[in-house]
Amino acid sequence: MRLKLSIWRQAGPRAAGRFEDYELDEVSPDISFLEMLDMLNEQLVEAGKEPVAFDHDCREGICGACSMMIDGAAHGPNEHTTTCQLHMRSFSDGDQVRIEPWRSRAFPILKDLVVDRGAFDRIIQAGGYISVSTGEAPEANLTPVQREMANYAMDAATCIGCGACVAQCPNGAAQLFTAAKVSHLGLLPQGQPERAQRVVDMVEQMEEEGFGACSNYRECEAVCPKGISVDWIARMNRDYLKAKLTGVQRSNQSR
Ligand code: SF4
Ligand code: FES
């Protein structure tokens, strides 16, 4: 198939960006969206031009790196699908496709389609871990976890930290990501000792990073490639309120 691509090009964080148009011919419907971008980049390099910078790693839907807006939708038109798992059969011959980076104050553009998602790392660093010793693997497995609870925690743990929830939210809010990361640990017995401190530290770090406030648009849930539900946000808010009402303050300790 033949495609017309309109791609955001920006040489660096402080450079002015603009859309540039490209035409790509003989695109197989069986290749992935990232392979289609590889095709374009090979042609650009052969012509002595600068290839389009984009993030990717696993290319199998588990690392969350392949972040981009495709025709205004984070990760493109298909539900529960990362960009690397999107195939060109989802497009038609002659389509015009607009590709741009996540746009959020908290995710500054580094180059072309690549943004800095360090804000997510800092939210995790604020408390997204368990510091009590859980022993070696067989010993840890001796801690009984109700099967229902383990499955429930796993639903939250499937968040791949891609940032689509932030990119699609009109407020640029990071509640869905933060709630998933707070909750999967808060549901397990090993996560209980630090549960109240964790939610306060992670939520307040999120607020410091310049993300917007959640006002229940639910765009995050609609585009999340892992189907993370906004119910997790309600759970995080309950945990946060409970922690604050019992006097838990932001920890100053550097983790
Ligand atoms: S909640 Fe969903 S959209 Fe947001 S970072 Fe996690 S996987 Fe990506
Ligand atoms: S490249 Fe890892 S999820 Fe897409």
pLDDT in tens, 63-119: 999 999 999 999 999 999 999 999 999 999 999 999 999 999 999 999 999 999 999
Q: Could you give the 3-state DSSP secondary structure of residue 68?
A: coil
pLDDT at 255 exceeding the cut of 70: no
Question: Could you tell me if 24 and 3 are in contact, meaning their C-beta atoms sit under 8 angstroms apart?
Answer: yes
Whole-number Å distance, alpha carbon 158 to ligand 2 midpoint, is 13
Percent of the chain predicted with pLDDT > 70:
99
Closest approach atom of ligand 2 to CA 56: 1
| Phi (first) and psi of residue 32, to 5 degrees | -85, 170
**Angle separating helix axes 195-208 and 118-125, nearest 10 degrees:** 150
Q: Is 159 in the pocket of ligand 2 (CB under 6 A)?
A: no
Residue nearest to atom 1 of ligand 2 (CA): 59
| Phi (first) and psi of residue 61, to 5 degrees | 80, 20
135: which residues sit within 8 A by CB, 6+ positions away?
Answer: 142
Q: 10: which 2 tokens?
A: 């920006």
Q: Is 163 in the pocket of ligand 1 (CB under 6 A)?
A: yes
pLDDT score of 252: 73
Whole-number Å distance, alpha carbon 163 to ligand 2 midpoint, is 12
* Alpha-carbon span 39 to 42, nearest angstrom: 5
pLDDT score of 253: 58
Least confident of 66-75, 142-151, 240-249: 142-151
pLDDT score of 135: 77
* Alpha-carbon span 101 to 17, nearest angstrom: 11
Average pLDDT in the 15-27 region? 98
* Alpha-carbon span 8 to 231, nearest angstrom: 34
- Point out the ligand nearest to the CA of residue 37: 2
Average pLDDT in the 44-56 region? 98
Q: What is the DSSP letter of 59?
A: S
For a substitution probing ligand 2, which of 55, 58, 102, 117 has the most ligand atoms within 8 Å of its CB?
58
Q: Which residue has the higher pLDDT, 139 or 170?
A: 170
* Alpha-carbon span 41 to 90, nearest angstrom: 21
Please compute Rg for the chain using Cα positions: 20
